Structure 1
Amino acid sequence: MPGEVTALASSSVSVHVMWRADTAVAAFEVYRGDVKVLDVTGGRHMVDVGGLAPGTAYSFTVRARDRAGNVSAASAAVPATTLSVAEGERVPPSAPGNARGQAQGPGAAVLVWDAAADDVGVTAYDVRQGGVRVHSVAGDRTTAVVTGLRPGTDYSFTVIARDAADNSSPESNAVRVLTEQGAPDGRSTAPGGLTATPRVAEDGTYLDLSWTPPVVDGTVAAYEVYLDGRFLTTVIWGANPPTGTAQYSLPLGDAPPAAHALKIRARLPDGKWGDFSAERTVAPAGP
């Protein structure tokens, strides 16, 4: 059963639900009252529940599910009331000021900042790393502990403030933190089993890609593709990123079939880009 479940109403239409789990599971099920609203992959311990009504009380629970489909008992229910939006609240908060931080061991960082100002009130602060939100805290807090980081790694964090209408402030100054050295966990951050099959269709030339996402503490939703040593494009999944084999047809336009070298890398849940996959050499495709 997931523990330490918390629910933070950071806007008028959404609630940020977080929890702790001591064992690896396939997925978490998030419930609003008696209704399951989201499935979350086992490496993630937070999610935003959206589509809610302003100024409304809700209750949330979380269950863990293993690969055989067994589901745990529900966590303790936690209440959260979405915020009411003041009429005419359109002005975003100011940027949080004087952001600073330091490492807390090999896998965490402590961040502190000065409060932002808003015409009505700040309701939440989001911590970003590499353009990815990695943590959120309530608007009356000006400190956060970011976990799930890698040992001996240089990170750059920024903080933004939000109000009840979900207006976002500019980013704070960047905070660089170098985590302490520690024993690696032996897991590779590189995508595995990359294959690339050329294909010529009526509308152009394609490379049909297939790979296995790296095993990390969270969901991988974006990959960078490099062709012949140069960055080509970013592949981003919105909803339901693949946790098993990922597949993508890479369009190469009207260029005739040619030999290529191809590699990819994943954006990890901590906002950093992981290691490159093994480079694959692709032979030209026939018509």
Structure 2
Amino acid sequence: VRARTPAAVADDRSAPARPSALSGRPAGSRAVQLSWSASANARDVVSYDIHQGDTKIHSVGGGQTVTVVTGLRPGTSYSFTVRARDAAGNVSPATPAVRLTTPGSGDGRATAPTGFRAASQREGGAYYVDLSWVPPRVDGEVAEYQLHLDGRPVTSLVFGGRAPRDRATYSFYVGREAGVSHRVRIRAMLPDGTWGGFSAERTVTTRPR
């Protein structure tokens, strides 16, 4: 089999022109719609990158100038920019940022673990607190939680492999003394990298069998 490679050409280091006229609007309490004008040299653009703050969160094809960003939180402010990208990987400067706030309550209840329960048990002369909860219903997997004990964060729980979706459980050591009361609550690390709302706070007391 004979084959001929194409002639060598100079590396393309010229970035596309900046997209313009970025605008947006909320699309419900958990999404926004963004639109923009194509890059001036749109013929060379293969995709547009959407950034939330400093993080790239989405890409669309070079022929598309509208997109919907989902998985957002109600009552929360966000900042978005768009960059054009060509086939050589060159990226344009970012558009001016558009700032949008999703409607609804930002009190965290929609992203808090629910059905939170806490109970004390004694084993081997020591006391443990057993927790169980229903993970928040959000877009994506929730694999990390932060545990607060008596008003202070004490540990992070990270589920390896497949994180529980229906009910999660965790048990931790609290000492050897009976009759001690503790306040406990948890919150989830959401797929967008922010902390969700706190669960209800429970009070549990170590009791002898």
TM score, norm. by length of structure 2: 0.55
| Aligned AA (2:203) | T
Distance 1:232 1:219 in 2: 23
User: Which has the larger Rg?
Assistant: 2
CA change 1:263–1:157 in 2 (3 A) is farther
The corresponding residue for 2:117 is 195
CA change 1:180–1:210 in 2 (3 A) is closer
Confirm or deny that 1:178 pairs with 2:101: yes
How is 1:155-174 mapped onto 2 (pairs within 5 angstroms)?
Answer: 155=78
CA change 1:129–1:271 in 2 (3 A) is farther
CA deviation vs aligned residue, 1:170-214 (integer Å, no higher than 9, x gap): xxx9975312459x9xx8433222222334556965322111223
- On the 8 A contact 1:101/1:109 being kept in 2, the answer is no
Equivalent in 160, 164, 168 of residue 246 of structure 1:
168
The corresponding residue for 2:77 is 154
Confirm or deny that 1:212 pairs with 2:106: no
How is 1:1-287 mapped onto 2 (pairs within 5 angstroms)?
Answer: 102-107=24-29, 108-110=31-33, 127=51, 135-137=57-59, 145-155=68-78, 176-180=99-103, 188-201=110-123, 205-252=127-174, 255-257=175-177, 258-286=180-208
CA change 1:145–1:198 in 2 (3 A) is same
Distance 1:200 1:264 in 2: 22
Secondary structure of 1:275's partner?
Answer: strand
CA deviation vs aligned residue, 1:40-85 (integer Å, no higher than 9, x gap): xxxxxxxxxxxxxxxxxxxxxxxxxxxxxxxxxxxxxxxxxxxxxx
Percent identity (aligned): 43
Shift of 1:276: 2.1
Distance 1:208 1:130 in 2: 39
CA change 1:154–1:285 in 2 (3 A) is farther
Shift of 1:262: 0.7
CA change 1:148–1:264 in 2 (3 A) is same
Distance 2:122 2:23 in 1: 52
Listed as ranges, the gaps of 5+ residues in structure 2 are 1-21, 40-45, 84-95
Listed as ranges, the gaps of 5+ residues in structure 1 are 1-99, 116-121, 161-172
Count matched residues. 173
- On the 8 A contact 2:26/2:100 being kept in 1, the answer is no
The corresponding residue for 1:31 is none
| Aligned AA (2:189) | R
CA deviation vs aligned residue, 1:16-41 (integer Å, no higher than 9, x gap): xxxxxxxxxxxxxxxxxxxxxxxxxx
- On the 8 A contact 1:265/1:273 being kept in 2, the answer is yes
Distance 2:122 2:99 in 1: 46
CA change 1:248–1:190 in 2 (3 A) is same
CA deviation vs aligned residue, 1:87-123 (integer Å, no higher than 9, x gap): xxxxxxxxxxxxx87443334235689x9xxxxxx99
TM score, norm. by length of structure 1: 0.43
The CA RMSD measured in Å over matched residues stands at: 4.9
| Aligned AA (1:228) | D
Distance 2:81 2:145 in 1: 22
